[in-house]
Amino acid sequence: MRAAAVALLALALVAGCSGGDGRLSKEEYAQQADALCTKYDAELEKLPSPTTLEALARMAVQAKAIAGEGAAKLRALKPPEELQKQADAWLALNDQNVTDIEAMRKAAAANDRVKVQEIARDASRNEAKADELARKLGLKSCASSTGR
């Protein structure tokens, strides 16, 4: 259950400011994003491993706060103009992760193991798509669900 929850909670993150319009270069964007991913992934890893649905519901409250903060930090960054469309798609997948964390919390609180597993499956697919987009953006630590 922890692996599914951690995969669900994983966030890809991005940061920066450079150039006249505040846009970052591709390298700056990747560097700052990967730094944020590393930071927020480490925070998620510190959460206790849930062994029951009740524990999963409690952990999800904390995870949503961490993931939401990370997503906000990513949105504050300005990728290079040529990467904006891909970055928007990637950020949308990260936003979906935050939404899924809340859905998982509700399902766990309702003791609905089947729904929790369904959400975890969907979140895992979502995370794979996010990882693929992160790689296309030149991100490294943000492009790996391993360990999250």
Residue 74 lies in a domain: yes
Question: What pLDDT digit, counting tens, does each position of 39-91 carry?
Answer: 999 999 999 999 999 999 999 999 999 999 999 999 999 999 999 999 999 99
Residue 8 lies in a domain: yes
Residue 148 lies in a domain: no
Residue 146 lies in a domain: no
Q: Residue 146's CB: how many other CB atoms inside 10 A?
A: 10
Residue 114 lies in a domain: yes
Question: What pLDDT digit, counting tens, does each position of 122-139 carry?
Answer: 999 999 999 999 999 999
How many structural domains is the chain composed of?
1
Range of the domain at 36: 2-140
* Reported pTM: 0.81
Residue 145 lies in a domain: no
Measured CA to CA, the distance from residue 32 to residue 73 in angstroms comes to: 10
